[in-house]
Structure 1
Amino acid sequence: MAPAACPAHEMKRRLVLRLGLAQLINWGVSFYIPGAFAAAIIQDTRWQAGLVHAGLSLALLVMGLVSPLSGGWIERWGGRRVMCAGSLLNAAGCLLLAGSGTACQYLAAWLVLGVGMRLSLYDAAFATLAALLGPDGRKAMVQVTLFGGLSTSLFWPLGGWLADTFGWRAGLTCFAVSALLGWALLLGLPGQPPAQAKQPTAIAAMPLPRVPARLYGLAMALTAFLASGLSAHMTSLLASHGLPTALAALWGVGQVGARLADCLQRRSLPALHLNLWVGVALPACFALGLVGLGSAPLAGLFVLAYGALNGLATLLRASLPLELFATEGYAQALGRLLAPAFLLAAVAPWVYALVRSQAGDMAMLWLSLAIALGVLSSAVALHRLRRAGP
């Protein structure tokens, strides 16, 4: 039965299932490729580890450059077409990686993946849900992220097994086939929502309220910088203090757990209030990290807490614009305001590595605490601004 003919709740359930499974696949076959295949690629090609890992940073830079355009594409052609194109680009990028024989070919494949990632991952999915469901799409966004949060649990071990059994090139070819499965899932999404179908003219770029837009963009850029920098160094940070590296797995547990808790609430906390709570908790979390690296239980609590806060930050990335801006301008707002977040995420691992090599692990955590205070300042400013008036 066509989605339009289904009852509203049934259409929403199918929409979440298709988008969620597509997110599970597209994250695994793009962003998480280095975690699955980097070691095998380095061993086989003898390329420098920095070069192999630079591919993802290059893709993040491309995502930042493409981001201001992506919102307009979604509003002009619809989320289904744009996300399908992203999945096909992910498949092409995996095939190009599998066939790369030189460093230039390898990095060129990541350029393709960068465009595919921007058109197929969370932010495109959030814009699609906002267009289809309007302000009621927050719960569906949370549910979709639960699928995406499981991607490492599936694709890292799968990629490792494929690399060990058949080689990394064959493994990436299998990932390309998986991306085509994501494309097939996205083909079943509804087309334009009825309200837009009656207005075939393209939506003009929506002017955004300047101060809320800047505060939102700043908060998302800072949280993206934190997540990217810490994810690149968390395992080695634990190991350098004699702690079990298995504690790093608590990051994913906290992330999925926080999203699940939000999803199970009968009435969700308004995004602006949740943003304030996350802003307050982030500095406390890094203060715990500064004093807790000498103890496995405290270090585990730090990793778990930061994972939970990072999971909530991903939800805020999607839900805050629903309260700050008009729904009709959602896709373009995300496209323009998240561009700095992708650019900062690309350079964060290098900045953290520089700080760590020059001043040590504690300096890296002090830097994180300073950035967390910046997130808190933006959250307080946004909350006060909205209390002062519309």
Structure 2
Amino acid sequence: MSRVPWEHRWRGAVRLELRGAFVARVLRDLHAEGVPLYDVRVGDDRCSLRIALGDFRALVAACRRHKVRLRAVERIGLPFAARRLRQRKVMWVGPVLFLCVLACLSSIIWQVDVSGTDDEDLVREVVAAARENGLYVGAWRWNLPEVEVLQARMLDHLPSLVWIGVQLHGAKAQLEVLPKIPAQPPAPAAPQDIVAAKPGTVLKVFATRGDVVVRPGQTVQPGQVLISGRLGDSGVAVAADGKVYAEVWYRSQVALPLSVVQQAWTGASVRRVYLRFGAWALHVWGWKQADYPRQVTVSDERDLRVFGLRLPVGWQSDEIREVEPRRFALTESAARKEALRLAALDVRARAGADARVLGQTVLQTQVEHGKLYETVLTRVEEDIGTAAPLPAAAGGPGRTAG
């Protein structure tokens, strides 16, 4: 059967079956009148064909002239679909009701997000200020004030902010804030030294106040003065300040199993689909029970969008996967690389995030009872300076800079 052209789908067409002794005469008359016929199949005393809806009257007249009976097999196209819809008015209720519900739900704020700060206390203050001014989950969009008015009112309630922006994307409200930069603490006024907090070899010294008393390459011990708060021969006492970067050594003990047991997916799974309305989810498909001894759930959420507008309705697909414990073995070389990585993580946790790893040396390694034991020496560059009160001068209290 040939493909129905778009013209027939748009203007309508009819698939017919003709019966009678003079079917051939009917086809000859239609051909003489220039009526196009499609999918013509001729038998002994019958014929099947497709004809455009506009040429149907000519076919009926030819059948009457030659006393040929006809029967409609299929009605194709938009005119017949529109006629069926007019006859079944109840079918319009569902789509119209669905569109009304979507319009209603899209007019409600379903989500309020705050960006621009990681301070949870400030986020709670911003959300509370938005609620006081009518912006909260469940609020109607048409009841909200103008965006400029809302921003100004919220900024009056939040003196810790420099600026706040409100953007409404469908059912989502995005609040972008810019907190005030806290004032820099004043430089310490009390005289002080910068001393070593831990042993190390000095690499670089950056002094903003005070006299540097160490040099690069010098090994220092805890408590040793690095930047003095007494200025030269004058003995004027100031609050020394600066950074002293030194090479510091850390020793780490690492124990790593050569074989580990992890949960692996067996390939069996059950999928369930939910229709989400805000925070509610309606189970619509996938009813098979997941009777697995061990299982994990992988979720995928997708929002519905119409012309780029995000609707408060979406799909949620949960895949429940069966897992089983499986043993994975590590080669000794891979285990040693992993041990070095773990040692570096341990050192960064002890030295601080600003520390920079310079190198690592394995002091001792041993494989025993299915585990790799290593002792790793890690060299890092870090600021070892810390403030310490300035000791009193030998001849009496030092003079303080005015």
Alignment TM class, shorter chain as reference = under 0.3
State the structure with bigger RCO (CA 8 A, min sep 6), 1 or 2.
1
Structure with higher strand content? 2
Structure with higher helix content? 1
**TM-score, with normalisation over the residues of structure 2?**
0.15
Q: Which structure has the larger Rg over C-alpha atoms?
A: 2
**TM-score, with normalisation over the residues of structure 1?**
0.15
